[in-house]
Amino acid sequence: MAKILVSGGAGFIGSNLVDKLIELGHQVVVVDNLFSGKKDYVNDQAVFYQIDICQAPELEEVFAREKFDYVFHLAAQIDVRKSVEDMELDNRINVLGALNVLESSHRHGVKKIIFTSSGGAIYGFPEEIPTPENYATNPVSPYGINKLVFEKYLNYYHRVFGQKYLNARLANVYGPRQYEGGEAGVIAIFINNAVEGKTSYIYGDGLQTRDFIYVDDVVRALVSKMDDETVGTFNIGTGKESSLLEIVSAIEEALGHKIDIEFQPAKLGEERRSCLKTDLAKKVLDWQAQVELSDGIKRTIAWSKDNLN
């Protein structure tokens, strides 16, 4: 049994991760300010602190009291558009707040930090699809810039202080407990709207592609090398492109009926294609995505039907 901190453990990916860690027999502590997370999503076997990672003294007290073996850092400002509107806020949370987690981890002897970074935002508009980890990182949003900045800090702490880390550059994650809003939530938005009989909107022709990965596959990747010597940066995706029109078709097939879709003008600056090359994760982490898109959508629809008003 290990003592583990999950920052952002009341959120979509974080709460699913907490469930898995507890299932594996670990003792889990969650730190979350509940700005976007939900207390109801926190496993009742986890210890919960309602703390903002930007509150350095309070966070330091938790580290001193709990004495963690491992830290999964997921707490973040996750909205790309919000990062453009308020760059200072995004920097404060995604860099300075993250540094509070990193500094406390270093001071209190945490063995390894696993960080959820962004595969889509960090590479910008790559010409190589699927995109490998060694492709040039040219983010085109403050969100992507700040995710990359913290990756660099983790590498610095490793080289200078020996702090072990793993950067998981995630593709577009979907599944139960995902919130509406943000591009990464397009499957959740379409499914929630379909279940509630509302209209969903496609901006552009619907042929833009993304690499959609089910949350359970992401969780398996995050825990795969928690307690060994593996250090580095890994793309976590399916390596497959799916268009928005294909997502709509998969949802309609799972539901057994058409859903209401309305087309709107394309959004300026939107990526046409995004997909991650995952060969390195397969080789080093001994991991690959297992849940097919059609199956993941069916599972997400089932959860939405059970949990939406």
Helix (H, G, I), strand (E, B), or coil: what is residue 201? strand
Banded model confidence at residue 180, pLDDT cuts 50, 70, 90: low
Rounded Cα distance between 283 and 263, Å, is: 41
pLDDT in tens, 118-177: 998 999 999 999 999 999 999 999 999 999 999 999 999 999 999 999 999 999 999 999
What per-residue confidence (pLDDT) applies to 70? 98
What per-residue confidence (pLDDT) applies to 309? 59
Residues β-bridged to residue 243: 209
Q: What is the mean pLDDT of the chain?
A: 95
Banded model confidence at residue 185, pLDDT cuts 50, 70, 90: confident
Banded model confidence at residue 271, pLDDT cuts 50, 70, 90: confident
Q: Which domains does the chain have, with CATH numbers?
A: 3-174+215-237 (3.40.50.720), 183-209+241-277+292-307 (3.90.25.10)
Does 182 have pLDDT greater than 50?
no
* Amino acid at the residue 294: S
What per-residue confidence (pLDDT) applies to 183? 46
Enzyme catalytic residues: 143
Please tell me the pTM assigned to this model: 0.96
Helix (H, G, I), strand (E, B), or coil: what is residue 184? helix
Rounded Cα distance between 53 and 74, Å, is: 11
Does 235 have pLDDT greater than 90?
yes
Rg over CA atoms, the chain: 19
pLDDT in tens, 273-289: 999 999 999 999 999 99
Rounded Cα distance between 31 and 136, Å, is: 33
Does 184 have pLDDT greater than 60?
no
pLDDT in tens, 202-211: 999 999 999 9
Would the CA dihedral through 169, 171, 14, 184 be positive or negative?
Answer: positive
Would the CA dihedral through 307, 190, 240, 118 be positive or negative?
Answer: negative
pLDDT in tens, 236-260: 999 999 999 999 999 999 999 999 9
Does 223 have pLDDT greater than 60?
yes
Would the CA dihedral through 92, 95, 101, 107 be positive or negative?
Answer: negative
Does 80 have pLDDT greater than 80?
yes
Q: What average pLDDT does range 83-90 have in this prediction?
A: 96
Alpha helices in the chain, H assignment, sequence order:
12-23, 56-66, 80-85, 87-91, 98-107, 119-123, 142-161, 186-196, 215-224, 244-255, 279-280, 293-307
Is the separation of the CB atoms in 193 and 185 below 8 Å?
Answer: no
- For tokens 């979509």, the residue is 12
Q: What average pLDDT does range 62-68 have in this prediction?
A: 98
Rounded Cα distance between 42 and 24, Å, is: 16
